[in-house]
Amino acid sequence: MPRLAVVAAAQSLLVVAGTARAELPARCVRTSACDARVASGGLVIERDDGSRLRVGRTARLVCSAWSSGVRAPSLHLLVGDPHRVRPLWTVSVVRSSLRRRRTFRFPTDVIDDRPRGLVFFADDPASHNELSSQVERASGSVTVVRARCSPRPEVTLRVRAHLGSEFFDRPGARIEGRIRIRGRAAA
């Protein structure tokens, strides 16, 4: 049975039929403006059976609106290669939420037309699973240690969480670690 389309992380990612592809602003698609790199650390994503998701170190980091229809200034991060059927993860956070707090507990409840807070999503194509901070079985937290949009985008996250599956019959995954992502300097 084909999966339903799931919009995750607003402009950063669209998951359709289990395959992830980037839905980044045009300037990110046509140029390398949103290219980023994992500067240090990493996250361990472990399935319930003890096996790990192997996510590449390719990254995209962009400060933009939450989505094309919602103007809330946000920071979107995608780690992994969205053009291949491989594991990847995304985090989107509304920038005004960072003024009130830096630690976001799961499960999160982000409403797309009035977003607040943070959404964490992981795609696990090998096990046909999609993991989210927005499902009831999610727990733990993400701390945004550092986030800035200019002159050079950067985000540092500390994660100790369990993401629940978006499918009722699938297990979740444990995520732990600290990671720093640096984007390109603004032109």
pLDDT at position 114 is 87
Residue 94 is part of which domain span? Answer: 6-183
Q: Rounded CA gap, 146 and 186, in Å?
A: 18
In a domain, residue 157? The reply is yes
pLDDT at position 82 is 75
pLDDT at position 81 is 79
3-state secondary structure 133-183: CCCCCCEEEEEEEEEECCCCCEEEEEEEEEEEECCCCCCCEEEEEEEEEEE
Query: Per the structure, how many domains does the chain have?
Result: 1
Order the strands of the 13-16 sheet from edge to edge. 6-8, 13-16, 19-22
pLDDT at position 112 is 78
* pTM score: 0.83
In a domain, residue 1? The reply is no
pLDDT tens digits, residue range 127-160? Answer: 999 999 999 999 999 999 999 988 889 999 999 9
pLDDT at position 179 is 96
Task: Look up residue 57 and give its two tokens.
Answer: 């170190």
For residue 27, the surrounding DSSP H or E stretch is: helix 26-30
Q: Rounded CA gap, 61 and 182, in Å?
A: 8
Q: Rounded CA gap, 185 and 23, in Å?
A: 21
Q: Rounded CA gap, 171 and 101, in Å?
A: 30
In a domain, residue 20? The reply is yes
Lowest mean pLDDT among 29-38, 77-86, 130-139, 170-179: 29-38
pLDDT tens digits, residue range 11-55? Answer: 333 332 233 333 456 666 555 668 888 888 999 999 989 999 999
